Amino acid sequence: MNQVIQSGGWDRVLPFVALAILAELLQVRISERRGQHLTFSLAVAVTLASVTAHTMAAPLVALSAVVVHSVRSRSAQRSRLLFNAGNLALAAGCAGWTYRLIEPSAIDFTPWHLATASLAVFVYFAVNLGAISLMVSLTSGRSISAILSESGWSLPINAFLGLTGAFIGGAHEQLGLLGTALFVVPVLLMRFTLLLYSQRSQLIIQTLETQADQLEQQTQILEHQASHDALTELPNRVLLQERLEAALETNPREPVALLILDLDRFKEINDTFGHDHGDRVLAEFGRRLDAALRDTSTGNTQQPYTVARLGGDEFAILLQAADVDQACIVSDMLLHARQEPFIIEGCPVDVGASIGIAVGPQHGQDPVTLLRRAEVAMYVAKQQGGGYSVYSLERDRYSPERLVLIGDLRQAIESNALMLYFQPKVTATGGRVHSMEALLRWEHPRFGLIPPDLFIPLAEHTGLIKPLTRWVLNAALAQCRDWLDSGREVPVAVNASMHDLHDVHLPELIAKLLELHGVPARCLLVEITEGAIMSDAERAMGVLTRLRDLGVGVAVDDFGTGYSSMAYLGQLPVDELKIDRSFVRELSANVKHAAIVRSTIALGHDLGLTVVAEGIEDGQALDLLRRFGCDLVQGYFVSRPLPASKLGPWLNNVQWTPKGRLAA
């Protein structure tokens, strides 16, 4: 290129400096949020490199642009401004030096001329982006490749602007200001076009970014709601299980303690003050638990913990790196922390708690097992009147060994592998056989004879109680039919559980079975415990009334061990009152028990009921019961439960004597 400005021609350089400042003022912002913008000062710098041999001209143009940018930003840090100024000046200087080093010799534009301009633009970007990426990588720790990829959007446009600058420089050499205007005007038009689309794009981007922020906030809210309890804001069962699983997997050998707390007498608060006050108690109780654990350290080391609400009035605490002893210390501390009463409507209300403790991997190696066993321990603590209890296999009615019995029991019911034994009830004075009580027995093929107090609770908690009750009723009535066919009418008493008593279909079932076996209703007596009746007195009253309407007898079993049923006893449709064996067994040695038995017999007679004393084990108790006027007696002193095949002597119209002999 023949026409160049000499190095001392500052009067020719300053207009380009002014043009660079104007180009910087006309920059287009692509994204306000990300700080992305597009400047046209690069084109001016390349133009200046094309038309002047002054070595500081191009850096001066870049420096002017940085100064203008700094004044506009204002909030930028001084160190950042200095870096940008030096970096851009260096990049522009290197680009100009490269362009002048390989200056095309031809006046006309040639491919070589275009290649030289492209190389200058490449040098500019290489120096500029390289320095920026290196600085950001050093300060943020991110990889240089990741930083370069974020700047890729500006490469095509800046390359176009750089090449445009080369064309402007060439046009200026050949046509002067007219040539410059020929290229500057299209660039300005492009700038305003970009500005128009940029504003529209920014509006769209801002809308999308706002929607993305809202969506992210909603996602965070939903994730929080999915993992936290709405009432107490504590983690829920899902999050507790996740943290418990993580704690067990992180270090399988390190102990992890799980505590489950259940509030005592919380139902009374809901019934007395309403559910709103009950919810406040739950929320406050959760805060107390968290505060107590936050302010207390065990073993001089603050343990990672999680307080969660499992539902209802049940809470859980996860203690990492805590063994049984440490869990007991924390439990004792929590029980003392909750002793401060809750104030409800100005009234201090004391709320107790029962705590169950299970420690992994000792008591379980997965979250489900630990949760279940901690609940088992909690129920043991509740049965003991509160406090805390550590899981014990001996107290677990649902250990794997016992859970095997559930499937075996179902099969035994279906295959008719159960047995009924019968224990005679005789008159206290004459010793005449009055009736028989049917008692269920199960001879397991592997475990031998299994006591009813083991497998009946299993049936009650697994839904097998209904088919089990049906089997007992069916077998008892079938045996009663056999006795009737042999000329003996012997009433049979069958025990029914609380679940049976609350089953509104029980009277209908009994009616069908009585009809099926052709047994008169007077030959069947249903025994219900006092506790079962009082658990839902209204429903029990309805079922018992329907049984009485059928002609079936009803007996209150284990009387004296339940709740305040005296108020209901006169209203219940019952025929028989059975005094619990715990009073009869110590009748001759305990004066108070004797007074209770005598009063109960008198009460039963005043209500027109037959009174039965069960659990007789000696003659002295029998003598006292006779003196008290008891109607019927039952127990080992009379006879042990026997299979039907061995009841022949009892069914031949004989009488029992106190010496255990049968008299004709």
56-74 average pLDDT score: 57
* Alpha carbon distance 382, 394 (integer Å): 17
Q: How confident is the model at residue 478 (pLDDT cuts 50, 70, 90)?
A: very high
- At residue 10, the pLDDT reads 56
Tell me how many degrees the CA angle 645-648-653 measures, rounded to the nearest 5.
Answer: 155
Q: Is 221 exposed, middle or buried (0-12, 13-18, 19+ CB in 10 A)?
A: exposed
Res 19: pLDDT: 65
Q: Which fold has domain 10-205?
A: Arp2/3 complex 21 kDa subunit ARPC3 (1.10.1760)
Q: Is the pLDDT of residue 387 over 80?
A: yes
Nearest CA to 284 out of 319, 316, 313, 318 is that of 313
> What mean pLDDT, rounded, does the chain reach?
79
Distance of CA 36 to the CA centre of its chain: 45
Q: How far from chain centre, in Å, is Cα 333?
A: 25
Read off the pLDDT band of 6 (50, 70, 90). Answer: very low
- Gap between the Cα atoms of 163 and 111, Å rounded: 12
Please check the confidence at residue 610 and state whether its pLDDT lies above 90. yes
User: Which DSSP state fits 341?
Assistant: P
Tokens of 427: 């008159």
Tokens of 19: 């043009």
User: Which stretch of DSSP H or E encloses residue 85?
Assistant: helix 78-101
- Whether residue 629 contacts residue 609, with contact meaning beta carbons closer than 8 Å, is answered with no
Window from 45-59, 206-220, 271-285 with minimum mean pLDDT: 45-59
Distance, in Å, from the CA atom of 634 to the CA atom of 629, rounded to the nearest integer, reads 15
Q: Where in the chain is the domain with CATH 3.20.20.450?
A: 401-646
- pLDDT of 163 reads 66
CATH topology of domain 401-646: TIM Barrel (3.20.20)
Q: What distance in Å separates the CA atoms of residue 490 and residue 612, rounded to the nearest whole number? A: 17
Token code pair at residue 600:
């109960």
What is the band of 539 on the pLDDT scale with cuts at 50, 70, 90? confident
- DSSP tag of 558: E
Higher per-residue pLDDT: 401 or 654: 401
- Helix, coil or strand: residue 397: coil
Q: Is the pLDDT of residue 563 over 50?
A: no
Q: What is the pLDDT of residue 553?
A: 95
Beta bridge partners, 528, equal: 496, 556
Band (pLDDT 50/70/90 cuts) for residue 661 is: very low
pLDDT-derived band at 652, boundaries 50, 70, 90: confident
What per-residue confidence (pLDDT) applies to 599? 92
What's the average model confidence in pLDDT over 93-112? 65
pLDDT in tens, 135-152: 888 887 788 777 777 666
Q: Across the strands, what pairs with 428?
A: none
Interval 170-177 mean pLDDT: 62
What's the confidence (pLDDT) of residue 342?
80
- pLDDT(292) > 60: yes
Cα distance between the two ends of the chain: 146
pLDDT of residue 106: 44
Range list for CATH 3.30.70.270 in the chain:
237-396
Residue 2, pLDDT score: 36
**E strands in 70-159:** none
Tell which residue, 156, 177, 144, has the closest CA to residue 15. Answer: 177
Q: What is the token pair recorded at 404? A: 């095997």
Distance CA 394, CA 517 (A): 42
- Residue 120 pLDDT more than 90? no
Alpha-carbon distance 640 to 206, whole Å?
Answer: 88
pLDDT of 65 strictly over 60: no
Q: Is the pLDDT of residue 24 over 70?
A: no
Give the highest mean pLDDT range of 102-106, 134-138, 615-619: 615-619
275: CB partners within 8 A, 6+ apart: none
Q: What's the DSSP call for residue 644?
A: G
Task: Please count the residues of the chain.
Answer: 664
Question: In this predicted structure, what is the pLDDT of residue 485?
Answer: 94
Task: Pick the most confident of 99-103, 487-491, 531-535.
Answer: 487-491
Strand (E) or helix (H) holding 200? helix 177-227
Please tell me the predicted confidence (pLDDT) of residue 245. 92
Give the HSE-up count for residue 407: Cα atoms under 13 Å, Cβ half-sphere: 4
With beta carbons less than 8 A apart as the criterion, state whether 612 and 577 touch. Answer: yes
What does DSSP say about strands 576-579 and 553-559: parallel, antiparallel, or unpaired? Answer: parallel
DSSP state of 5: B
Angle subtended at Cα 519 by Cα 518 and Cα 525, rounded to the nearest 5 degrees: 155
Question: With contact defined as beta carbons under 8 Å apart, do 520 and 465 qualify?
Answer: no
Separation between Cα atoms, residue 142 and residue 120, nearest integer Å = 29
Work out the average pLDDT over 615-637.
Answer: 92
How many Å is the Cα radius of gyration of the chain? 47
For residue 614, the model assigns a pLDDT of 92
User: Residue 169, Cα to own-chain centre: how many angstroms?
Assistant: 71
Q: Give the per-residue pLDDT at 663.
A: 44
User: What's the average model confidence in pLDDT over 3-32?
Assistant: 58
Tokens of 63: 């420096």
Bridge partners (DSSP) of residue 235 are: 228
Mean pLDDT across the stretch 26-45? 61
Please give the C-alpha separations between residue 536 and each of 270, 456, 532, 568, in angstroms, as whole numbers.
18, 20, 7, 12
Instruction: Report whether pLDDT(398) > 80.
Output: no
Instruction: Report the C-alpha gap between 544 and 534 in whole angstroms.
Output: 13
Assigned token pair, 125? 């970007």
The structure tokens 């302010």 sit at 295
Verify cis geometry, omega within 30 degrees of 0, for the bond prior to 361. yes
The CATH architecture annotation of domain 237-396 reads: 2-Layer Sandwich (3.30)
Question: 158 with 40: CB under 8 angstroms?
Answer: no
pLDDT average, residue stretch 87-107: 69
What's the pLDDT score for residue 526? Answer: 96
Condensed to tens digits (0 to 9), the pLDDT of residues 223-266 reads 888 889 989 999 999 999 999 999 998 888 889 999 999 988 78
Q: Are 532 and 555 in contact (CB under 8 A)?
A: no
Alpha carbon 123 to its chain's center: 60
Residue 329 pLDDT > 50: yes
* 84 against 138, higher pLDDT: 138
Which tens digits make up the pLDDT trace of 405-458? Answer: 888 899 999 999 999 999 999 999 888 889 999 999 999 888 788 888 778 877
HSE-up (13 A, CA, CB side) for residue 612 = 24
CA distance 240 to 247: 10
Confidence of residue 3 (pLDDT cuts 50, 70, 90): very low
Enclosing H/E stretch for 45: helix 41-51
Give the up-direction half-sphere exposure of residue 397: CA atoms within 13 A in the CB hemisphere.
15
Strands 433-444, 642-643: pairing kind: unpaired
Q: Percentage of the chain with pLDDT > 90?
A: 29
Q: What is the predicted pLDDT for the residue at 25?
A: 65
